Amino acid sequence: MVQNDKFTFIESALTERVQSQRLRSLQPLQPIDVVHVARSGQVLLNFSSNDYLGLSKHPTLIAAAQQYTEQYGTGATASRLVSGTYEIHQNLEEKLALACGREAALLFNSGFQANSTILAALLDRQSLVLCDRYVHNSLLQGILASGARFKRYAHNDLHQLEAALQQAQQNYSRILIVTETVFSMDGDCSDLDGLIDLAERYDAILYLDDAHAVGVLGQAGMGLAAHRAGVDLVVGTFGKAFGAFGAFVTCSRKLCDYLINCCPGFIYTTALPPAVIGAIEAALLLMPTLESERQFLRQQSNRLRTELQALGYDTGASSSQIIPVLLGTEEKTLSLSRWLDKQGILATAIRPPTVAAGTARIRLALSSCHTPEHLDSLVAAICIWDNINH
């Protein structure tokens, strides 16, 4: 009897990716400074990093990470409920809660882990989730894992969201509204006032992913959802503007206690290592002092959007440091990305299934360490490519 190769599905999947120009591969880089990397001997100006304030190379964070390693060791050695909760973990959570104007905070090991496991812990099969169509994959994974019923409303369309809330008259165990404050692929923002109003009027739990706002926007840079009454649960990350690693959730004390006892992704994983805690502590201390950097980042983002739009490019509804250059097809997007690469600029092509079919793009992510001259180089390179291809 002839048996089929048990891994033919892999060959089929990879072949399909090649044919649709969606095959991805890892490209190792060597960081040089905040906005420059080296790859295969070439120095590239990086417009694809989430290091929005340049803190990953900040000497204060590096020194704190080294100090915490010397004092506490390289690993936390256990999960939080066993013996992995050091005083430094708890102290950091208290400081985060205070900085965000919340009763409690809880550390997680990554934003993906937080979203995919917290939602599964909050929901059951009798729950209903209403989520924005553009939410991050980690949120979708958490919803799917829960087995809850879910509906996706049109992007930032609160009229459609309210219509779905009005129709949700069944005996659901609970209703969650799930969205992001700054959308990772489009750089636009949610209407927080409208979301809070709907959640309160329809008695829904409001869950916000604040990952790309934390450090950049809001009071003292602690995110758009910080200090906002009516928001039930906020997830933030440290791997972006904080320049470190890991994630956190802020919420009520009771909800925090529930997650400590009922959230598998928190219960069954080793705690964040001391070096990471040290770096986060240092970044948190710096945050209130970085308003000029945040203002400069906003100015640079506004300038780049204006110049790209003047060239005829669609930057969507972006209003943040994330600026998509919407090109539509995979072929065109890859062409621009490769051209920029030859000009010494790293600007990664974002293709389906990360974004919807027909919306392939270059996703530009700015840092406060990008200079006006860096933006000039980027715009000039895009302008040349545009002239060559039109």
**Which residues are annotated as catalytic?**
50, 136, 180, 184, 209, 212, 240
CA 9 – CA 25 distance, rounded (Å): 18
**Structure tokens that stand for 345 in this block:** 């600029």
Q: Which amino acid is at 142?
A: G
Written as one string, the DSSP assignment of 234-289 is: EEEESSSTTSS--EEEEE-HHHHHHHHHH-HHHHTSBPPPHHHHHHHHHHHHHGGG
**Residue 55, token pair as written in the block:** 């803190």
Q: Which helix (H) or strand (E) holds 304?
A: helix 291-310
Which of 364, 372, 377 has its CA nearest to residue 49? 364
Q: Characterize 30-45 residue by residue with b for buried, 16 or more Cβ atoms within 10 angstroms of its Cβ, and e for exposed.
A: eeeebbbbeeeeeebb
- Local structure of 201: helix, strand or coil: helix
- Beta bridge partner(s), residue 79: 270
Which tokens belong to 384? Answer: 């040349």
Burial class of 263 by CB neighbour count within 10 A (0 to 12, 13 to 18, 19+): buried
Residue by residue, DSSP assigns 9-75 as HHHHHHHHHHHTT--------EE-SSSEEEETTEEEEE-S---TT-GGG-HHHHHHHHHHHHHH-S-
Positive or negative: CA dihedral 316, 321, 322, 323:
positive
Q: How many helical (H) and strand (E) elements, i.e. helices and strands, does the chain have? A: 13, 14
Q: What is the DSSP letter of 155?
A: T
| 177 sits in which H/E element | strand 175-180
